[in-house]
Chains A and B, each alone.
Chain A
Amino acid sequence: PTISNPNHARIHFSLSLPLQKQTLCSPAGEAKSGILAPTEEYTFVEQLIPPSRVPFPPKHDGPSPFGWTPPSEVPLAFPYMICRSRMHNVPVYTYLTHGSRKTTLVHKIEGDIWEYLQQLTGKDLPTQVNEVTMTIRVKGHFDTALKEWLVKK
């Protein structure tokens, strides 16, 4: 299909605009007069300033194209709670040590989580519970299953 596209527009700034000169005493040969530019041009500078806070993600219906699901507005009632991280992701992380030692870390746990853990895996896996930092470390990689399950909450 033929598409007629005009030549792409270029924002070309001609510097030879008629500018209002202010009277400033500046040494000869280095004349640079300060001119009050319109504030519209400063908006371009404001776009360049990095934000200092993590932005709130926009609304999606269900999972986004990447596969990210927003946290549910009202979390289902369970005896435990696992909040999202600062970047709005599920706090499940996997580690691989010595090339073959797989661990999964679930972070930001509050409340009682023991019943669920017994249901998830048929057997009791070696775990390490760190109550002060609210983490549970489990042997083996369970990140996909855990993330899918936690996303539904």
Chain B
Amino acid sequence: MSFTKNTGGKALDLLQNLPRITLANLRPEPGTKKAEKKRGRGQHGGNRSGRGHKGERQRGNRPRLGFEGGQTPFYLAIPKYGYNEGHSRRAQYQPLTLNRLQYLIDLGRIDPTQPIDLTQLVNGRGVTIQPQKRDYGVQLVGEGAGIFAAKVNIEVQMASEEAIAAIERNGGIVTTGFYDPRSLAVLCKPVPYFLSGQPIPKRMLPGEDMVPYYTDAANRGYLADPEKIQKARIALAQKYGYILPDISKDELFHMLFMRKDPRQIFFGLSPGWVVNMAEKKILKPTDDKLLQYYNS
């Protein structure tokens, strides 16, 4: 830069040339300070000081908030209904718009030549997930479907139909996968987990209520039948009116078809392995029972 930072340039010049600043020289900008309203000092001697004439109002004895003079008040007349019941136990999915995803790819924070995982999104500071606050992952939202132009292999926890259509239109692949809270915490912050020295846990399968979602091909669930997913891709292309590009002839074919095993949290790393970051080694279990457990 050809500019020297002249912090406070003109103001500093003024300060040096004007006389010393004291309280006597300072005054607030006209219009910023409005005079406070003083009670009991108005025309005709103030009289009631803005409290009205007699009664509970003037004497400061009004009943509690919500009281309607004896009529059953609103907050008691309306029956209870559990709209918010169990709200703190409901699963939350942080939204990720296609706008934001495109922005992250454009600025180089997310690499489209590698499969995009929740870990990659968190590393690129694209989303903030709080597994401890009932966040179960990320949901793809279709806002920005018009400008989206990136071929990606993305794995999220939920996706709207429009978002799936927009990604597949550009030759990408969407998958929805379930992560139980412990796996999600490991997925979002892998480095502190590895440093703790614990083995990579195996990902649990979804609960009863979410199994229909993840076995449905329309949601591109990871437990769904691949043939049905293919049919769903064709159906969606017909519904949204675009030609489904042939991915099998793509140069990034191998990367685009990388998927995780239902029990696997990270690409390339199996459950049961211990990662030693200090010595850059991976330890694998050999005991039969352990192998049986991690293999199941």
Contact = CB atoms under 8 A, between A and B. Distances in A.
Among A5, A60, A83: residue with most chain B CB under 10 A: A5
Given A44-B268, A48-B190, A50-B123, A13 B275 contact: no
Given A32-B286, A110-B1, A11 B261 contact: yes
Interface residues of B, number: 65
B246 A3 contact: yes
B20 interface: no
Contacts of A48: 119, 123, 190-191, 266
Contacts of A35: 283-284, 286
Interface stretch (B8-16, B38-46, B177-185): B8-16
A56 B108 contact: yes
Interface in B229-275: 230, 234, 243-244, 246-248, 254, 257-261, 264, 266-270, 272, 274-275
B3 A47 contact: no
Interface in A7-34: 7-16, 19, 21, 30-34
Contact of B286 (A10, A21, A65, A81): A21
A13 B106 contact: no
- Scoring A16, A34, A44, A47 by chain B CB atoms within 10 A of each residue's CB, the highest score goes to A47
A50 B191 contact: yes
B102 interface: yes
B1 A41 contact: no
Contacts of A31: 286-287
B94 interface: no
Given A16-B291, A45-B269, A81 B243 contact: no
Contact of A10 (B107, B109, B261): B261
B15 to A, nearest CB: 11
B277 interface: yes
A24 B286 CA distance: 12
A134 B1 CA distance: 15
A99 interface: no
A67 B226 CA distance: 36
A81 B268 CA distance: 47
Nearest to A89: B107
A90 to B, nearest CB: 13
Contacts of A41: 268-269, 282
A5 B248 contact: yes
Contacts of B67: none
Q: Which 3 A-B residue pairs are closest in the complex by CB-CB distance? A: A44-B268, A50-B123, A64-B106
18 contacts: A1-B244, A3-B234, A3-B248, A7-B226, A8-B257, A10-B261, A11-B268, A13-B264, A15-B272, A35-B283, A41-B269, A45-B269, A48-B191, A56-B108, A66-B99, A66-B106, A110-B6, A131-B12
